Amino acid sequence: MSAARQRPFRRMTYTAVALLSAGALVAGCTSNEPENSGGGGGNAAASDNDEEGETVVIGFSAPAADHGWMAGITEAARAVDEEYDDVELRVAEGTNDVGTQISQVETFINDGVDAIVLLPFDGDALTPVALEAMEAGIPVINVDREFNSPFAARATILGDNYGMGVSAGTYICEELGDQPDAVIAEIAGIDSLPLTQDRSQGFADALADCELEVSNRVAAEFTVESGEAEAANLLQAAPQIDAIWNHDDDQGVGVLAAIENAGRDEFFMVGGAGSANAMRAIESGDSVLRATVIYPHTQAADGVRLARLIAQGKGVSDLNSQGVPREIVLNAPVVTADNVDEYIDAAFES
């Protein structure tokens, strides 16, 4: 992406606006719009969508909560269930086994649930069973990791991985843009994952906008242990650093431990995901961690809300357009000491 295209992104940095993409609805038997929806459109804009309606049964499946962000995903989804008396949320046990997750979705289909919210361990592998659900007339809300077919979901909710990189890079540009020789380091997540690739590309593009670039880069595995090990390697290889972007606050616990062990404090760090412990470090003012970029752990909670609207034949009340958007990409704001109070109460624990 060119610098010219990046500049508008910088002017709107840190806004809390979601990008709603109301693309063409899936046609035919996979549209999964309830017959009584009436299109959902203008009438929904004048209605109170929180008003209790017909009870809907929603199946929810996600990977194992072996990571603070993933635990936050399921916890937030359960909170929506408690909020609405007209929602019965059936939560399958979190699993990183593709075969088990496929079986969970098949059970939801056989039980005839009204909608399914699915954060797949592997989007490609779960696409066929999601298609099966859609063909059975059960709307699927795809969360975070995309299916490989547009027909496999009625709606998709995504975090903005590329936008995370842009936000991190823009923040660093604002801090160091007048230092053309600044040494920028990056501690990525799992390099084979598209989400990591997107985050790194967004970061590189934003840095290029202020004529900076990544000088030292390592990749960890989104765990505390890998974060500490890879950060130690990075610090040994780079005797002078001005800023570090760490992609993930869970692995950031290990990154900060390595930094403390090395006795280094000549740089500042930007985190990723938006964990509560990262925000507490930012709030304290005693850490090299100066900011973190939000990757919303509320995606599945939003998915449950959308599933409820779709199953009850409603639309998004604040939109004039009919029905529920096909895709929602959530914003990636930067949390600093100046605005941490706005985010910390809703953050997840690493």
Annotated domain spans of the chain: 18-159+297-330, 161-295+336-346
Asked whether the predicted pLDDT for residue 61 surpasses 80, the reply is yes
What's the whole-number average pLDDT of the chain? 88
pLDDT at 327: 95
Same fold, 18-159+297-330 and 161-295+336-346: yes
SS3 326: coil
51 or 41, greater pLDDT = 51
| Structure tokens belonging to residue 306 | 């959308």
Residue 275 phi, psi (nearest 5) = -80, 160
| Mean pLDDT on 315-339 | 91
pLDDT in tens, 199-237: 999 999 999 999 999 999 999 999 999 999 999 999 999
Task: Tell me the residue length of the chain.
Answer: 350
Is the Cβ–Cβ distance between 292 and 119 less than 8 Å? Answer: no
Q: In whole angstroms, what is the distance from residue 43 CA to residue 38 CA?
A: 9
Q: Pick left, alpha or beta for residue 294 (phi over 0 → left; psi -120 to 50 → alpha; otherwise beta).
A: beta
Is the Cβ–Cβ distance between 93 and 65 less than 8 Å? Answer: no
Which of the four pLDDT bands, split at 50, 70 and 90, describes residue 27? very low
Q: In whole angstroms, what is the distance from residue 276 CA to residue 208 CA?
A: 30
User: What CATH number matches the domain at 18-159+297-330, 3.40.50.2300, 3.30.1490.270, 3.40.50.300, 2.40.40.20?
Assistant: 3.40.50.2300
In CATH terms, is domain 161-295+336-346 a member of 3.40.50.2300? yes
Q: In whole angstroms, what is the distance from residue 272 CA to residue 203 CA?
A: 12
Q: What is the pTM of this model?
A: 0.82
Which of the four pLDDT bands, split at 50, 70 and 90, describes residue 322? confident
| Mean pLDDT on 72-98 | 96
Is the Cβ–Cβ distance between 118 and 106 less than 8 Å? Answer: no
